């Protein structure tokens, strides 16, 4: 037997083990081996039932994602055909689902007549996260097994369902007592089936999935859900396939599913989301560190500053059971910080996401102090005090004195030079930047700023720590704003300038949200605070820009006390949470344009798209060339997870590749030549972009 599956006949049972580490992805060779093993078992008179299991414990994480978009994806035998064949074998099949059955893995289990899990089993159909729908029978067989509502919910959410819930829903028939006993229990189950003369496939609990469902179920579902889907294709295709399960007999439903799957697989959105999937895995691979790099233990964390960021940062650790001590300058600030954390947890309790007991457990892991001596045993200290170099340097001098040798000293600065902070300590090798995003307990991005002298084990430890608190850590070099905020600068600059030239904030934001960005530049500034943005800009004018006239509008709004949502007025005016255009802002833009000799004219949406996006992309390419970002996929992760760039566009770098690098370059040159002095000042193509286009490259890489 092929080494991709193990095969054994024991006591009338064929035991077929999937053996393609790490996750038994169902690529063509495994599909062929599995089919061959099942056929062999079916034709062996000594075999009366078949058990399929994961040879290393884990059952299967689905189709092989690396095959999508290539002929291998449907190379014979393709997955839908293999699974159809399995449903037609005349002996009972038992799927022994250890750990995970995801996507095609769950579809494989659904093609078996019987399924058993273990207490740690999780099942799910996460295809939607890859811009796909289940394509090997899942959209047709799951509704027939558990009913249309539960099935649709699983496919639209892509969520993993834990063992107990899978049992309640009827996705698994029973659970083994433990993972170790799974195979033995599956064999026992198979023997019971033989003894009772059970059919190869039991009848379906929801043979007519539409029965019992309200006549207007699909219509209502669509009205409620569609606005959230924005321009995403996959949810709509999942929805159509599940509707087909209710309208068509199985065979026709499977054909419909296949057609929809192929449409999804060929889509740009799926290509982009597959890129994001691999970029997330790639981001952990950093030159100079590997599995042999030692890791420092992190059993106790300290956070300096219990403000907006410090509190959120601390919650991340309490959430995973790590004790955190918060240090403040004064008791009232500390009390405020801890109260705010309790309130934030309280909101989760109200929403049913956390129990009162869990809230108390987490709060019990958090303590406060005003005394640096209490930080002596911390393994990791994260500083989140005011954004002023002198203050941060003072904190680090103190940490250097009080912290134990080997403690990792991190700064959450969003713009300051981490090298300059490290330099005031006697241990710059232990200093690193950990740039969390607001709200720090929610946002998944963590920029890990690898300073000049940061030691490899400090970098490796913080990357692992980041993943263990549920973040997506991305390594950045040291520069003003690191990857994310540095790219924000030219993108926001264009937004401001376009308003001076004649666009309105709402028009600019509308173009950006039209691309499915979570929010436009001006809505974001109003939310983050016009004042916060002003203060950072004001402290760094020299580093940001040689001509800052474009941000005069922001400066004037600051001077008028229009700080954004918190004051009810900023780039927009607010009534509660409702946002309205404010003609005073437009009048202000007109006045400033006059003072700055900017000619006002109607600006079309295409120009807004091009100028904001191309400048964002250009800066990203420049960062890659400078080595601040290790790879273009890292830049995409930063913008997707920190700045609300839609994952189904793949991030700004992937978007540029799909758009055409030559077109981006041509656009930048066009505005350089057509916007007068302003164009000549700002629209300089990144040299790497020019080299890539000259070399005929269509993907962004360092050359």
> CB of 220: closest distance to ligand NAI in angstroms?
38
Interface with ligand NAI, residue 329, by CB under 6 A: yes
**Which does residue 485 bind out of ligand 3HC, ligand NAI, none, counting CB within 5 to 8 angstroms by kind?**
none
Q: In the bound complex, what is the minimum distance in angstroms from residue 313's beta carbon to ligand NAI?
A: 9
Looking at 33, 63, 446, 483, which residue binds ligand 3HC (CB under 6 A)? 63
327 interface partner picked from ligand NAI, ligand 3HC, none, CB below 5 to 8 A per type: ligand NAI
The dihedral over CA atoms of 296, 298, 299, 302, expressed in degrees to the nearest 10, equals 130
d(CA 228, CA 226): 5
Among 294, 386, 587, 605, binds ligand NAI (CB under 6 A): 386
Does 135 bind ligand 3HC (CB under 6 A)? Our answer is yes
State how far the Cα of 85 lies from the Cα of 40, in Å rounded to an integer: 13
In the complex, the smallest distance separating the C-beta of residue 296 from ligand 3HC, rounded to whole angstroms, is 22
Give the contacts of 327 (CB within 8 A, at least 6 positions apart).
302, 303, 304, 305, 306, 368, 369, 370, 371, 372, 374, 375
Near ligand NAI by CB under 6 A, which window of 197-205, 284-292, 352-360, 386-394? 386-394
Binders of ligand NAI in range 332-371 (CB under 6 A): 333
Q: Which of 118, 387, 634, 636 binds ligand NAI (CB under 6 A)?
A: 387
Nearest CA-CA partner of 80 in 201, 210, 250, 204: 250
In this structure, what are the phi and psi dihedrals at residue 410, rounded to the nearest 5 degrees?
-115, 150
- Residue of the chain from 139, 414, 450, 507 that contacts ligand NAI (CB under 6 A): 414
- According to CB under 6 A, which one of 14, 41, 107, 116 is a site residue for ligand 3HC? 107
CA distance 80 to 76: 10
Quick one: 230 or 444, whose CB is closer to ligand NAI?
444
Q: Give the Cα separation of 11 and 306 in Å (integer).
A: 64
Q: Which helix (H) or strand (E) covers residue 6, if one does?
A: strand 5-10
Contact in structure between 304 and 381 (CB atoms under 8 Å) = yes
Range 40-48 contact pairs with CB under 8 angstroms and sequence separation of 24 or more: 40/7, 40/14, 41/7, 41/9, 41/14, 41/16, 41/91, 42/89, 42/90, 42/91, 44/9, 44/14, 46/9, 46/12, 47/9, 47/12, 47/13, 47/14, 47/91, 48/12, 48/13, 48/91, 48/194
61 in contact with ligand 3HC (CB under 6 A): yes
Q: Which does 387 bind (CB under 5 to 8 A by kind): ligand 3HC, ligand NAI, none?
A: ligand NAI
Site string for ligand 3HC, 523-552 (x = CB under 6 A): ------------------------------
Of 67, 118, 127, 494, which is the active-site residue?
127
Using alpha carbons, select from 469, 471, 467 the residue that is nearest to residue 445.
Answer: 471
Q: Is 448 in the site for ligand NAI (CB under 6 A)?
A: no
The answer, yes or no, to whether the previous bond of 485 is cis (omega within 30 of 0) is no
CB atoms within 10 A of CB 206: 21
Among 308, 344, 369, 567, binds ligand NAI (CB under 6 A): 308
Residue 62 as a binder of ligand 3HC (CB under 6 A): the answer is yes
Binding mask 12-51 for ligand 3HC (x = CB under 6 A): ----------xx-x--------------------------
Question: Nearest approach, Cβ of 557 to ligand NAI (angstroms)?
Answer: 18
Cα–Cα dist 4/643, whole Å:
42
Question: Does the protein bind ligand NAI through residue 462 (CB under 6 A)?
Answer: no
Minimal distance, residue 439 CB to ligand NAI, in Å: 8
Considering the complex, what minimum distance in angstroms separates the CB of residue 191 from ligand NAI? 59
C-alpha angle 350/353/355, rounded to 5°? 75
| Angle subtended by helix axes 138-146 and 104-111, to nearest 10 | 60
134 binds ligand 3HC (CB under 6 A): yes
Is 607 among the catalytic positions?
Answer: no
Q: Is 107 a catalytic residue?
A: yes
Check 107, 265, 280, 619 and give the catalytic one: 107
Select 24 or 414, whichever has its Cβ closest to ligand NAI.
414
Mark 548-587 with x for binding to ligand 3HC (rule: CB under 6 A) and - for no binding: ----------------------------------------
The DSSP 8-state label assigned to residue 575 in this structure reads E
Q: Which does 385 bind (CB under 5 to 8 A by kind): ligand 3HC, ligand NAI, none?
A: ligand NAI
The entry of ligand NAI, ligand 3HC, none that residue 46 binds, CB within 5 to 8 Å by partner kind: none
Provide the β-strand partners of residue 435. 447
In DSSP notation, 328-355 reads -SSHHHHHHHHHHHHHHHHHHHHTTSS-
In the complex with ligand NAI, the residue whose CB is nearer, 24 or 441, is: 441
Write phi, then psi, for 487 (nearest 5 degrees): -70, -30
User: If contact means CB under 5 to 8 A according to the sort of partner, which of ligand 3HC, ligand NAI, none does residue 413 touch?
Assistant: ligand NAI
According to the binding rule CB under 6 A, does residue 64 interact with ligand 3HC?
yes
User: Does 489 participate in binding ligand NAI (rule CB under 6 A)?
Assistant: no
Residues 6+ apart with CB under 8 A from 343: none
Q: What are phi and psi of 100, to 5 degrees?
A: -135, 140
Question: Pattern of binders to ligand NAI over 127-166, x per CB under 6 A?
Answer: ----------------------------------------
Q: Does 143 bind ligand 3HC (CB under 6 A)?
A: no
Question: Are 98 and 118 in contact, with CB atoms under 8 Å apart?
Answer: yes
3-state DSSP assignment of residue 443: coil
Question: Which residues, 6 or more positions from 292, have their beta carbon under 8 angstroms from its beta carbon?
Answer: none
Q: Active-site residue numbers?
A: 107, 127
Q: Could you list the residues that contact ligand 3HC (CB under 6 A)?
A: 22-23, 25, 61-66, 79, 100, 102-104, 107, 126-127, 130, 132, 134-136, 138, 281
């Amino acid at each position: 037997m092929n080494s991709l599956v193990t095969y054994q006949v024991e006591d009338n049972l064929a035991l077929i083990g999937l053996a393609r580490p790490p996750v038994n992805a169902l690529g063509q060779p495994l599909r062929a081996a599995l089919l061959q093993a099942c056929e062999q078992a079916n034709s062996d008179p000594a075999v009366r039932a078949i058990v399929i299991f994961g040879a290393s414990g884990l059952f299967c994480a689905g189709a092989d994602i690396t095959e999508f978009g290539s002929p291998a994806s449907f190379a014979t035998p393709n997955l839908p055909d293999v699974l159809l064949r399995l449903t037609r074998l005349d002996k009972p099949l038992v799927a022994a689902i250890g750990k995970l059955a995801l996507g095609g893995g769950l579809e494989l289990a659904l093609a078996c007549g019987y399924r058993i899990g273990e207490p740690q089993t999780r099942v799910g159909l996460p295809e939607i996260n890859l811009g796909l729908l289940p394509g090997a029978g899942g959209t047709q067989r799951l509704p027939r097994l558990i009913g249309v509502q539960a099935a649709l919910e699983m496919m639209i959410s892509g969520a993993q369902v834990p063992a107990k819930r899978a049992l309640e829903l009827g996705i698994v028939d029973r659970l083994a007592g433990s993972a170790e006993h799974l195979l033995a229990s599956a064999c026992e189950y198979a023997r019971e089936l033989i003894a009772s003369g059970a059919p190869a496939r039991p009848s379906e609990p929801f043979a007519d999935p539409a029965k019992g469902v309200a006549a207007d179920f699909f219509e209502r579902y669509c009205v409620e859900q569609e606005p959230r889907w924005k321009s995403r294709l996959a949810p709509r295709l999942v929805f159509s396939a599940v509707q087909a399960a209710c309208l068509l007999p199985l065979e026709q439903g499977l054909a419909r599913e296949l057609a929809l799957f192929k449409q999804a697989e060929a889509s740009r959105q799926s290509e982009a989301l597959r890129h994001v999937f691999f970029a997330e895995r790639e981001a952990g691979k950093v030159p100079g560190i590997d599995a042999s790099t030692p890791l420092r233990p992190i059993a106790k964390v300290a956070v300096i500053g219990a403000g907006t960021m410090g509190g959120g940062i601390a919650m991340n650790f309490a959430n995973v059971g790590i004790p955190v001590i918060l240090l403040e300058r004064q008791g009232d600030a500390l009390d405020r910080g801890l109260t705010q954390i309790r309130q934030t947890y309280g909101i989760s309790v109200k929403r049913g996401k956390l129990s009162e007991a869990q809230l108390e457990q987490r709060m019990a892991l958090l303590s406060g102090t005003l005394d640096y001596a209490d930080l002596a045993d911390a393994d990791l200290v994260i500083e989140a005090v005011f954004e002023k170099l002198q203050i941060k340097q003072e904190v680090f001098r103190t940490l250097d004195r009080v912290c134990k040798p080997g403690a990792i000293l991190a700064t959450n600065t969003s713009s300051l030079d981490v090298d300059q902070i490290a330099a005031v300590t006697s241990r710059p090798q232990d200093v690193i930047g950990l740039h969390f995003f607001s709200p720090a307990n929610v946002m998944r991005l963590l920029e890990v700023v690898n300073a000049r002298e940061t030691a490899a084990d400090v970098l490796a430890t913080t990357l692992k720590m980041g993943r263990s608190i549920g973040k997506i850590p991305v390594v950045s070099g040291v520069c003003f704003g690191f990857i994310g905020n540095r790219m924000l600068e030219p993108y926001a600059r264009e937004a401001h300038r376009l308003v001076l030239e004649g666009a309105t904030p709402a028009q600019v934001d509308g173009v950006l949200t039209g691309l499915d960005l979570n929010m436009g530049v001006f809505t974001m500034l109003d939310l983050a605070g016009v004042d916060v943005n002003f203060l950072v800009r004001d402290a760094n004018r020299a580093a940001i820009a040689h001509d800052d006239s474009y941000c005069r509008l922001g400066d004037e709004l600051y001077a008028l006390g229009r700080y954004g949502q918190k004051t009810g007025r900023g780039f927009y005016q607010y009534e509660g949470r409702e946002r309205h255009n404010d003609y005073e802002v437009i009048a202000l833009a007109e006045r400033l344009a006059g003072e700055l000799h900017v000619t006002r004219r109607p600006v079309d949406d295409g120009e807004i798209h091009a100028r904001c996006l191309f400048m964002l992309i250009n800066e990203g390419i420049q960062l890659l060339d400078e080595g601040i970002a290790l790879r273009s996929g890292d830049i995409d992760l930063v913008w997707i997870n920190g700045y609300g760039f839609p994952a189904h566009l793949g991030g700004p770098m992937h978007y540029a590749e799909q758009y055409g690098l030559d077109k981006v370059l041509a656009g930048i040159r066009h505005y350089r030549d057509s916007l007068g002095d302003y164009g000549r000042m700002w629209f300089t193509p990144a040299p790497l972009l020019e080299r890539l286009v000259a070399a005929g490259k269509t993907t962004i890489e360092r050359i």
